[in-house]
Amino acid sequence: MDDKKTNENKDLPIDRRRFLMGSMGLAGGTLASQIGFADDSAFLPPNSPPWTRSLGPGVLTNPYGRPSSFEDHVQRRSVDWLTADRIASISFTPLADLKGIVTPSGLVFERYHAGVPDIDPTKHRLMIHGMVERPIILTMDDLMRFPSTSEIRFLECPANGGMEWRGAQMEGVQFSHGMLACCEWTGVMLSTLLEEVGVDKKASWILAEGADGSHMSRSIPMDKALDDAMIVYAQNGEMLRPEQGYPVRLINPGWEGNTCVKWLRRLEIGDKPWHHREETSKYTDLLADGTSREFTYVQECNSVVTSPSPEKPWQRKGKYWVEGLAWSGNGRVRHVDVSFDGGVNWREARFSSVVLPKSLTRFGVEFDWDGSPQMIQSRAVDETGYVQPTYTQLRAARGTNSVYHKNAIHTWKVNADGSVSNVQIT
């Protein structure tokens, strides 16, 4: 019956206003056409499943609420072969199931070097010292008394997609792009704290150090600290989650997540970078000629289609909303195009969320699937004019040794059966 309906409508002119009814073979259909859909007939009027005829639990059954049990499949995931131990590993954001631009705090990807510390905020201190007039040790209460700012900004591990540099194809957008999240971050501008301590005019770098067992540390240029770096204590309206740095972390908007030191306990002001382990043996970009790029902080313009994706196959012919995420560490996303033939032809996508600088931006485009294989790509351009590169362009510039800052145009192949594969078009 579904096929019949599709066939009947196939040669009719499609009224653009009628998005679903024309060619999609709508499961529900009109009331008149419902009769033929055996698996849906139980839901014709009078449609009275149990929940329409009973009382549910009252308020405060969950003083801190949780998702429906029907959404239990939406969770962070990892791959065991990635690292030797989960104490120093990563989990991935389930991008295929997310909507809009805000990542729920419980689903933000995780990255630790010594597991999650369980910090008592009343006992945590943030010290700011070095080349300053007035070194200071702040309690969390002190920090809360400074003027606060809230900004919606993306957070991305620079290794996001890194496993695909040399052609590996991860199964699903959760693994190919899921070291990515976007939250509303609230805290104090780092520049405000630097004014408080009085920075030496010769100072040009800041070391940020975490309080966890790894004491992860990164060198941050003073320009960034005075621009938009934030000392953050809240995320999506509430205090930071433990795995996100509770009770306080650094956020460098648009920069690699590794620099956004969690469980922040110390900021040292100096006049040169420290060249610590996580900015020499790690988080440098090994180029084709054997040299390394160091301090490559910015997460450049990138995008990915999240639906369809291996997790979100197409079930039947007809209209779909093809959607995804775009972002740039250099500002706002200005434009996103989508291709269905592997980059030969492009269609302009529509932004379907608010467009903020250094934030995820949601885009989408309508597509009427005729059941033939498709090669779907997205290509983002940011407000600086930077265009997301192809794999060929990226590898020409940086070889194949690197695992960081991979932002090449990604391709999903939609197969004739609607399943979706991760393929590389160079």
Please pick, from the candidates 2, 14, 142, 200, the single residue that binds a second copy as defined by CB under 8 A: 142
Three-state SS at 172: coil
Range 363-382, binding a second copy (CB under 8 A): 364, 366
DSSP state string for 180-235: EEEEEEEEEEHHHHHHHH-B-TT--EEEEEESSTT--EEEEEHHHHHHT-EEEEEE
290-317 burial code (b ≥16 CB/10 A, e <16): eeeeeebbbbbbbbbbbbbbbbbebeeb
Range 77-106, binding a second copy (CB under 8 A): 77-78, 85-91, 97-106
Q: Least distance (Å) from a second copy to the CB of residue 8?
A: 15
213-252 burial code (b ≥16 CB/10 A, e <16): ebebbbbbbbebbeebbbbbbbbbeebbbebbbbbbbbbb
Q: Least distance (Å) from a second copy to the CB of residue 332?
A: 13
Range 317-356, binding a second copy (CB under 8 A): 318-321, 323, 350, 352-354, 356
**Residue count at the site for a second copy (CB under 8 A)?**
136
Please pick, from the candidates 130, 172, 247, 324, the single residue that binds a second copy as defined by CB under 8 A: 247
Q: How distant is the alpha carbon of residue 160 from its chain centre?
A: 9
Indicate the pairing of strand 333-339 with strand 374-382: antiparallel
- 296 sits in which H/E element: none
- Is the Cβ of residue 241 or residue 282 nearer to a second copy in the bound state? 241
DSSP state string for 46-61: S---GGGSS----TTS
DSSP state string for 310-326: TTB---SSEEEEEEEEE
Supply 25's token pair. Answer: 């073979």
- Is the Cβ of residue 284 or residue 353 nearer to a second copy in the bound state? 353
- Is the Cβ of residue 91 or residue 252 nearer to a second copy in the bound state? 91
- The DSSP letter of residue 121 is G
For the chain, the distance separating the N- and C-terminal CA atoms, rounded to the nearest angstrom, is 42
Q: Least distance (Å) from a second copy to the CB of residue 128?
A: 10
CA triple 131-134-135, angle to 5 deg: 70
Strand partners, 22: none
Using CB under 8 A as the binding rule, whether residue 257 contacts a second copy is answered as no
Please pick, from the candidates 38, 59, 344, 416, the single residue that binds a second copy as defined by CB under 8 A: 59
- Is the Cβ of residue 356 or residue 387 nearer to a second copy in the bound state? 356
Range 385-424, binding a second copy (CB under 8 A): none
- Is the Cβ of residue 41 or residue 400 nearer to a second copy in the bound state? 41
Using CB under 8 A as the binding rule, whether residue 114 contacts a second copy is answered as yes
Please pick, from the candidates 135, 313, 343, 399, the single residue that binds a second copy as defined by CB under 8 A: 135
Category of 398 on φ-ψ map: left (φ > 0), alpha (ψ -120 to 50) or beta: alpha
Please pick, from the candidates 12, 58, 290, 344, the single residue that binds a second copy as defined by CB under 8 A: 58
Using CB under 8 A as the binding rule, whether residue 144 contacts a second copy is answered as yes
Q: Least distance (Å) from a second copy to the CB of residue 134?
A: 5
- Is the Cβ of residue 5 or residue 398 nearer to a second copy in the bound state? 5
Stretch binding a second copy (CB under 8 A), from 128-136, 168-176, 289-297, 339-347: 128-136
Please pick, from the candidates 24, 159, 203, 230, the single residue that binds a second copy as defined by CB under 8 A: 24
131, 203 Cβ separation under 8 angstroms: yes
Please pick, from the candidates 7, 150, 400, 415, the single residue that binds a second copy as defined by CB under 8 A: 150
Length of the chain: 426
Using CB under 8 A as the binding rule, whether residue 200 contacts a second copy is answered as no
Range 204-243, binding a second copy (CB under 8 A): 211-213, 215, 233-234, 236-239, 241-243
- Is the Cβ of residue 159 or residue 394 nearer to a second copy in the bound state? 159
What is the spatial distance between Cα 133 and Cα 272, in angstroms, rounded to a whole number?
18
- Is the Cβ of residue 57 or residue 290 nearer to a second copy in the bound state? 57
Using CB under 8 A as the binding rule, whether residue 163 contacts a second copy is answered as no
Distances (CA, A) of 114 to 212, 276, 372: 7, 17, 48
Range 276-295, binding a second copy (CB under 8 A): none
CB proximity list for 397: less than 8 A, separation 6 or greater: 389
Range 296-315, binding a second copy (CB under 8 A): 315
Stretch binding a second copy (CB under 8 A), from 107-115, 166-174, 274-282, 289-297: 107-115
Stretch binding a second copy (CB under 8 A), from 24-32, 159-167, 336-344, 400-408: 24-32
Please pick, from the candidates 11, 66, 201, 290, the single residue that binds a second copy as defined by CB under 8 A: 66
